């Protein structure tokens, strides 16, 4: 394992654990946060978890469609068949 690989892995682990980017920037010693943004590789798992968290925070009912209960809209959609 090279020092670069270790730094990269540690930065990604921080990100996956919800550490704020400015804290990771300081840990890595980057003077410009854009350097940190390039350095980190955001995995699909991180994106999926962020979407799930946002849905939970917004109390989105994933089981109920947004149009349920709107009979006029349902009739319109069914007429498009």
pLDDT in tens, 16-70: 888 999 999 999 999 999 988 876 666 667 677 777 887 776 766 656 666 667 7
Residue 33: domain span: 3-79
Q: Is 51 exposed, middle or buried (0-12, 13-18, 19+ CB in 10 A)?
A: exposed
pLDDT at position 42 is 66
Q: What is the pLDDT of residue 26?
A: 95
Distance CA 45, CA 51 (A): 10
pLDDT score at 30: 93
Total number of domains constituting the chain? 1
In this prediction the pTM is 0.50
Higher confidence at residue 7 or residue 25? 25
Instruction: Return the pLDDT at 67.
Output: 63
């Amino acid at each position: 394992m090279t020092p670069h690989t270790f730094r990269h892995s540690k930065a990604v682990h921080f990100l996956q654990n919800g550490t704020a980017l400015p804290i990771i920037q300081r840990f890595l010693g980057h003077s410009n946060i854009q350097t940190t943004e390039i350095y980190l590789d955001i995995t699909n798992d991180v994106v999926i978890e962020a979407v799930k968290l946002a849905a939970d925070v917004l109390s989105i009912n994933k089981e109920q469609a947004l149009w349920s209960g709107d009979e006029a809209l349902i009739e319109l959609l069914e007429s498009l068949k």
